[in-house]
Structure 1
Amino acid sequence: MDMVKDLASKKAAVIFTKSSCFMCHSIKALFYELGASPAIHELDQDANGREMEYALQRLGCNPSFPAVFIGGKYIGSAKDIISLHVDGSLKEKLIQAKAIWF
């Protein structure tokens, strides 16, 4: 669990994903479209991926991917991120965390 918390706090925006997950791809594309360059951790391509997935579940990430952290805090999964984007607060969170500048 410490590894996930450490990785989640190393960059302003961090996304834990799986390479075969369509929603993960969509969330990454949304962040890039907004001008953010999140740290991406592909759970299915990392040697510690299974451990990280279990740690994400223990942290309350449900589903465990995509799991989005902004400013070191867990923000949510795809559904949560899309909701934040629709109401305009995702961009504000990214600005506050200095993941994007405007």
Structure 2
Amino acid sequence: MEMVRELASKKAAVIFTKSSCCMCHSIKALFYELGASPTVHELDQDANGREIEWALRSLGCNPAVPAVFIGGQFVGSAKDVISLHLDGSLKQMLINAKAIWF
């Protein structure tokens, strides 16, 4: 769990994904469209991927990926991020965390 907290707090926007996950790809594309350059951790290509995945599940991520952190805070999975985007608050969260500037 400490590893997840440390990785999530290093950058304004952090996404834990798997390279074969279509929802992970969609969330990354959404962030790029909004002008953010999130740090992406591909768990299936990380030596500690399985350990990180279990830590994400203990945070309530089910499925474990994509798991999004903004400003070091856990935002949620794809469903949560899409909901925030649709109500307009995702962009403001990214601005507040200095992941994008306007």
- The TM-score, its normalising length taken from structure 1, stands at 0.98
Q: Is 2:74 aligned against 1:78?
A: no
Q: How far did residue 63 of structure 1 move?
A: 1.9
Q: How far did residue 69 of structure 1 move?
A: 0.2
Equivalent in the alignment of 2:23 = 23
Structural RMSD (CA): 0.6
Aligned identity (percent) is: 80
- The TM-score, its normalising length taken from structure 2, stands at 0.98
Equivalent in the alignment of 1:52 = 52
Structure 1 unaligned spans of 5+: none
Equivalent in the alignment of 1:33 = 33
Structure 2 unaligned spans of 5+: none
Number of residues paired by the alignment? 102
Distance 1:63 1:9 in 2: 21
- Residue identity matched to 2:18: K
In the TM superposition, 1:56-71 aligns within 5 A as: 56-71=56-71
List 4+ stretches of structure 1 deviating above 4 A.
Answer: none
- Residue identity matched to 1:20: S
